[in-house]
Amino acid sequence: MKLIRPVAMLVLMVLFMNITAAQRFKAPVFETVDSINAITYGSAVNIKGSSESLLMDLIFPQGDTMKKRPLVIFIHGGGFQNNSRKGSYSAMVCQGFAKRGYVTATIDYRLGIENQKTEADYANALYRAQQDGRAAIRFLKKHATQYGIDTNQVFLTGSSAGSKTAMAIAYMDEAEVPAGINTGKWGPLEGTGGSEGYSSKVHGVLNAWGAMIDFNWIKKGDAPLFNTSGTMDKTVAFDSSFGYHGFKYGGYILYQHCLSLGIPTAWRPFYGAGHTLDNNKIKQDSCFQSMVEWLYPLLAINHPKITKLAIVNNIQFHRDENLWRSRSVSLLHRRSTHW
């Protein structure tokens, strides 16, 4: 009996570990999170001509022993003019991913619109924001061992202007910098915010009620893109029915473009909802759950191959349509990845 008990306990431990491994990244497996706040990840000159320190908060699962964990970086919204890395939606997203085993970061970036608030002025604001976002990515890759980050699994998300910034980081290259950007003043695409020499490449984007200046920035073989928005959004169009200071192409257009290129993608509409899903916590939580489900197949734990991934994702969300329909939002299914 003395031999049986340890063996039985070992079997139970193995079973528990297998169950936990199966749930990790899909369901909360950590009750609490830790954070390191106000980390200076770089500095850059703002529109006032002053050097501005760039800050981030890092959130991660308490007591986690995994050495290399996927990273999700959150970029806040506010029309490039206000708000900060601290907010209720960013907290929900960052803590939600951290409790599932991710490392997450929420960042500040240079704010402000110059001159007459023309489309070119907004494009310059986007340019500065994406420079800072790239600096944050480089910083976290530089300190990947310290923070337990897998540099081959870096994902971006954000709200509104933050999602616009995330997509610019993922898809815009030097040859596509919009006309009117003052590169002589603001420098190259990567910026000079710090941690030079490290890559700012990312492996997927979760676009929440954001839009792009040019959807052709997205090319065949680029990073996967999840899209969500309210269909009654009067600030940033979910389609291309109107523009926001030069941002003309919303999530549904980007979803269709990614489908045409064979890029893993998704479109999660919220019918009748406005910008930021009307700040409705139930809708935002439903949105977050969709992000979690979509992102999971992209992770290295599933050993995805990009040639098969689009098919896997398309089938998965087709099969799960009834599950999503049973939740609080009425869903439309026209294409296999269209909720």
Query: Residue 306's domain is classified under what CATH number?
Result: 3.40.50.1820
pLDDT digits over 277-292, tens only?
A: 999 999 999 999 999 9
* H, E, C per residue of 15-36: HHHHHHHHHCCCCCCCCCEEEE
- When pLDDT is cut at 50, 70 and 90, the band that residue 115 belongs to is confident
Q: Which residue shows structure tokens 């915010």?
A: 193
What is the mean pLDDT of the segment spanning 318-332? 31
- When pLDDT is cut at 50, 70 and 90, the band that residue 21 belongs to is low
Whether pLDDT at 312 is above 50: no
Q: Is 52 helix (H, G, I), strand (E, B) or coil?
A: strand
- When pLDDT is cut at 50, 70 and 90, the band that residue 309 belongs to is very low
* CB neighbour burial string for 23-40, b if at least 16 within 10 angstroms, e if fewer: ebbeebbbeebebeeebe
Residue 26 lies in a domain: no
Whether pLDDT at 323 is above 50: no
* Residue 70 contacts residue 299 (beta carbons within 8 Å): yes
pLDDT digits over 77-114, tens only?
A: 999 999 999 999 999 999 999 999 999 999 999 999 99
Q: DSSP label at 277?
A: G
Q: Is 207 helix (H, G, I), strand (E, B) or coil?
A: strand
Residue 339 has what pLDDT? Answer: 64
pLDDT digits over 125-180, tens only?
A: 999 999 999 999 999 999 999 999 999 999 999 999 999 999 999 999 999 999 99
- Domain of residue 292 covers 46-325
Q: DSSP label at 296?
A: G
E-assigned strands of 46-111?
51-61, 69-75, 103-107
Query: Which structure tokens are listed for 166?
Result: 């995330």
* Residue 190 contacts residue 42 (beta carbons within 8 Å): no
User: By CB neighbour count within 10 A (0-12 exposed, 13-18 middle, 19+ buried), where does 202 fall?
Assistant: buried
Residue 79, CA distances (Å) to 13, 171, 244 in order: 50, 20, 10
Residue 15 lies in a domain: no
Residue 30 lies in a domain: no
Element housing 127 (H / E): helix 119-142
Residue 308, CA distances (Å) to 264, 298, 303 in order: 10, 11, 11
pLDDT digits over 246-263, tens only?
A: 999 999 999 999 999 999
Residue 337 lies in a domain: no
Q: Sign (positive/negative) of CA torsion 42, 191, 247, 168?
A: negative
Residue 31 lies in a domain: no
Residue 213: name the closest of 165, 273, 263, 156 by CA.
Answer: 165
Count: domains in the chain: 1
Residue 304 has what pLDDT? Answer: 46
Residue 9 lies in a domain: no
* Residue 267 contacts residue 290 (beta carbons within 8 Å): no
The rounded distance, in Å, linking the Cα atoms of 216 and 46 is 29
Query: Which structure tokens are listed for 180?
Result: 């009117």
Residue 244 lies in a domain: yes
* Residue 182 contacts residue 123 (beta carbons within 8 Å): no
Whether pLDDT at 333 is above 50: no
Residue 330 lies in a domain: no
Largest CA distance in the chain: 82
